[in-house]
Each structure stands twice: as structure tokens, then as C-alpha cells.
Amino acid sequence: MTIKKPDLAKITLGVLFLSILIISCFMVLRPFLPALVWATMITIATWPLMRMVQRLLWGKRALAALFMTLVLLLMFVIPLFMALANVAEKAPMLIELGTNLSHSPPPKLLWLQEVPLVGDKLFEFWQQILASGGQVLFAKLAPYFGQTARWLASQAGNLGLLFVHFLLTVAICGLLYHSGEKAADGIRRFAHRLAGQRGDNAVVLASQAIRAVAMGVVVTALVQSSVAGIGLLIAGIPYVMVLVVLMFLLIVAQIGPFPVLLASVGYLYWSGDTTWGTFLLVWSLLAGTMDNFLRPFLIKRGADLPLILILVGVIGGLLAMGIIGLFIGPVMLAVGYTLLDAWIKEDDLQPEAAAIAAPPKAE
């Protein structure tokens, strides 16, 4: 019996053709990949909510998908549009402020003395800065206010592109809401084809990790920024919507809302409104620390994974890949951790399986 030799030319040309096809598809889809990834993450994270809405809307999937799409539009696109409008409106004022500051002496900041507990020390520290040449330092730094405003104005085109990107993401979310089961089934079948049951388990684990990050990071950011925004609104801080959006981004980036809250407290004391300044200071302490118990609780509800694994994935993914890394980082670590854990335990289970399969010894 003769063994047929493999046709190397046929195999090589087949692999080359498939590679060209994959690269061509990637180049065509490349402009849509960021929006597609974002839409996938958002849809997976909010899928249980969409199912609940569907039950309330007489089981109509089309109505539920339309409702969720409108909610996303209200939550993301409209606040972003308002923030862009405020930045464009206030850019000339910031430029003028930077010009005026560069030609005026630094302020005395007498209101620092009225800050509870640490006011005297802060005022003394500011006086030391002024006495050690702070006027020269202030004069050098002041023009950068105007430069920052000009830079923000120059980025208006990029921000407009971001607005279009958000619209595309919301549109893809609507399509995934409408036919998410078909997409999920196709992905699970593909993963099963690649790695059998392990591949299917990895896809399920990835969805759980995405939901855990959304619950632990995004929901925490929404709740924390909303609570902080209520305090700003009560204290009479202007442009609350812009500040809430900024705090949301800072919380998602694991920085927290304190930079915005403390700046607002300083603004109130500087304006002479010490009562509301003290109120906002206490409110900031409550709103700024609520994530310490809210985030772990929500993450454990989303997936039974080590908390440190999720947090490291969030921070590492953010540093490596930007905002989208908040979701991709934990997913990669979660899948890798589970596969490694299963592989290690598989070696421990083999002796037990062999012992069970072995026939009993004769007495």
C-alpha cells in the first residue's frame, strides 16, 4: 500500500489564500472594530437588564432593543454632546482668564484659613510659597491656562469624531440586543470547534468577567459620580453635568472623584461660602469612599473570580490599551487564570481517575 505524499504546494497556497482573506477582512472591518468591541462589552454587561425590560414589554424583543438603545443614547451620547458644547462655549473665557492671570499678582487666598481642621496649615504653606518666589512661579505657570484652553479648542474635531464613534456604538448595541442569541451561539460554536468544551467554557467565563467588570467598575462609577453630582448640585456648583461626566471618567480610570470634589470645595471657600464649602467637604468624604465597599460587592455578584485579579486587569488594561482595556484586561486575565487552574488541577485528577478505574486487589 503506497502512502500518498502531502501536496505541499496546495497546502502552502491554501494557507496563503486564507491569510490574505483574513487580513483583507480585518482591513475592511478595522474602522468599525473599536465601536464593535465597545458595543459587545456594553451588550454583554446589560443583557440581564434587557431581558427584564423585554418581560415588562409583553415579551417583545424589538421594543426592548429599542428601549435599551434609547437609554444608551440618553446616558452616553447626550451628556457627551452637552460636555462638548460647554467646552466650546467656555474656551474663550479660559483663554481670557489665563491672559489676565499672567498679568496679575497671585491671590492671597485668605479663605484657606476658614477650611476646617487644616485651614491654618494650608494658609501658612501658601504664604511660604509666595515668600520663596511664588510670584515668579505663578507668572510662569499662568500662561498655560490659556494654552490649555487653546488645545481644547483645537481638539474639537477629534471630539466630534468621538461623538460619531459613540453613535455607531449605540447603533451596534441595538442590533446586538435584537439578535444577541444568534451572535453568542456562533461565537460559542466557533470556540468549541477550536478547543472543544474548554473553548466553550472560556467564552462563558469571558462573558462573566465582562459583566463583573461592568457591575464593579462602571456601575460603581455611575453611582459614585451621581451621588457626588447631587452634592455639587445642592452646594450650588455651576456646570454640574460637565463635572459629573469628568468624575465618571476619573472613577472609571481608578483615580476617583476627589480631584473634582476638592476643587469644588476650594471654589466655595474661595467665594466666601464657608457653610456650603464645609457641607461639600463632608459630602465628598462620603461619596469618595463609597467605592471601597460597593465595588467588591458588585464584582463578586458578577463573577466568582478573585477580586485582585479583576482589579489588576482593570488597571493594567487601562494602562496598556486605554479605556477599552478596562474590559479586555480583566477578560484576558480571567480566561488565562481559569485555563491555567484547570490545567494544573487536571494533573491532580488523573491519579484519582486511574485509582477508580483500577480493578480491586484480590484478598
Return d(Cα 298, Cα 223) in angstroms, integer: 12
Query: H-type helices in 142-255, by residue range?
Result: 143-154, 156-178, 180-213, 219-235, 240-252
Q: Supply the mean pLDDT for the chain.
A: 76
pLDDT at residue 107 in the model: 60
pLDDT tens-digit map of 62-76? 999 999 999 888 876
- Given phi > 0 = left and psi -120 to 50 = alpha, else beta, which region is 6? beta
pLDDT at residue 238 in the model: 82
pLDDT at residue 145 in the model: 54
C-alpha cell at 100: 489676565
pLDDT at residue 110 in the model: 64
| Contact (CB, 8 A) for 211 and 44 | yes
Its sign, for the CA torsion 327, 329, 335, 341, is: negative
Return d(Cα 317, Cα 301) in angstroms, integer: 21
Q: What is the mean pLDDT of residues 188-204?
A: 84
Whether the per-residue pLDDT at 211 is higher than 80: the answer is no
pLDDT tens-digit map of 111-157? 666 665 566 776 777 677 666 655 555 555 555 555 555 555 555 55
C-alpha cell at 228: 457626588
200: Cα separation from own chain's centroid: 26
Nearest partner of 338 among 196, 190, 208, 215, judged by Cα: 208
pLDDT at residue 363 in the model: 45
Percent of the chain with pLDDT strictly greater than 90: 12
Whether the per-residue pLDDT at 357 is higher than 50: the answer is no
Q: Determine the straight-line distance between the first and last CA of the chain, rounded to whole angstroms.
A: 51
Choose between 303 and 217: higher pLDDT.
217
pLDDT at residue 94 in the model: 55
pLDDT tens-digit map of 297-354? 777 776 667 777 777 887 788 788 776 777 778 777 877 887 787 777 766 555 554 4
| Contact (CB, 8 A) for 211 and 218 | no
Whether the per-residue pLDDT at 19 is higher than 90: the answer is yes
pLDDT tens-digit map of 222-243? 889 989 999 998 988 887 887 8
Return d(Cα 273, Cα 9) in angstroms, integer: 81
Whether the per-residue pLDDT at 96 is higher than 70: the answer is no
